Amino acid sequence: MRVGRKNAIRREVMDRLAERIRDHWASVCAGVRPGASQRAIEEFEAKYGVKVANELAALYRLVDGMEDSDSDDRFLHIRPLAELEPVTLPNLATSYGLLHGRGQEESDDGFLAIPPLGEDKPAPLREAGRYFVFGDFLLKSHEYAVKLSSDPAAADPVVWIIGSNWETVAATFGEFCEKYLSNPEGLYLVCFD
């Protein structure tokens, strides 16, 4: 199979996944915004020096997130593209860990890292500044961020973040979307041990 045909099939699969998410939101009366333009996606990429992952682009072309302060039947809110922002101290300032004197430190590669609270916590989220917060659960009890880079073929894992705690919930944004539709409980933080 030629590369062009493979890419067309992949895009069709991604578009169908985005349509399923849009249909779910419509079925639960979540306020869905009209899709973002290709120009808006390109402006976002230029502003942050990243390429929007294919699955993420497919979703935002179809629906530009949810209306302000709206959420789905599971209390998940997806931000409009213009409101995606890198993981930084200001956008997580209301989270538990950062209110208790924990900030960010620079990692070996010059990107910010979110340090753990204690020895029993996960390792720092390296390159935290390359993760973009795109959604939150239950009025920001925790937030979701996807890793973006300038390489469109690079991995785009999704993590949940609360304060300085984080965990990978999906290896790719596409996997996050599949879990969201088929097994959403696996995406939600219930409690810390």
Does 77 fall in a domain?
yes
**191 domain residue, yes or no:** no
Q: Which two tokens stand for residue 184?
A: 């959403």
- 89 class by beta-carbon count within 10 Å (0-12 exposed, 13-18 middle, 19+ buried): middle
What pLDDT does residue 72 have? 76
Does the residue 59 lie in any domain?
yes
Contact 102, 163 (CB under 8 A): yes
The alpha carbon of residue 183 and the mean position of all alpha carbons in its chain are separated, in whole angstroms, by 17
Residue 29 inside a domain? The answer is: yes
Cα end-to-end span (Å), the chain = 49
- pLDDT exceeds 80 at position 143: yes
Share of the chain above pLDDT 90, in %: 23
DSSP H helices, 49-150, are 54-62, 96-99
The domain of 62 spans 3-186
Higher pLDDT, 25 or 179: 179
- The Cβ of residue 47 has, within 10 Å, a number of other Cβ atoms equal to 9
Backbone angles phi, psi at 142, to 5 degrees: -150, 160
Q: Judge whether 147 lies within some domain.
A: yes
The pLDDT tens digits for 119-132 are 455 567 778 888 99
Q: Which of 144, 110, 147, 112 shows the shortest CA–CA distance to 130?
A: 147
Residue-wise pLDDT tens digits, 53-76: 888 999 999 999 888 778 777 778
Confidence at residue 126, expressed as pLDDT on a 0 to 100 scale: 79
- Higher per-residue confidence, 187 vs 177: 177
The structure tokens listed for 94 are 């209301």
Rounded percentage of the chain residues whose pLDDT exceeds 70: 72
Mean pLDDT of 132-136: 89
| Residue 182 to residue 193: CA distance in whole angstroms | 26
Region 97-123 average pLDDT:
45
What pLDDT, in 10s, does the model give residues 17-51?
889 888 888 888 878 889 999 999 999 999 999 99
115 located within any domain:
yes
45 residue type, one letter: E
In a domain, 66, yes or no: yes
Classify residue 93 as left (phi > 0), alpha (psi -120 to 50) or beta: alpha
| Residues whose CB is less than 8 angstroms from the CB of residue 36 and which lie 6 or more positions away in sequence, other chains included | 60, 61, 64, 80, 81
- What's the CATH number where 101 sits? 3.40.1580.10
| pLDDT above 90 for 109 | no
**pLDDT (mean) for 154-182:** 87
Any domain includes 192: no
Q: Looking at the 3D structure of the chain, how many domains does it have?
A: 1
* Residues 6 or more apart whose Cβ sits within 8 Å of residue 79: 65, 66, 133, 134, 135, 136
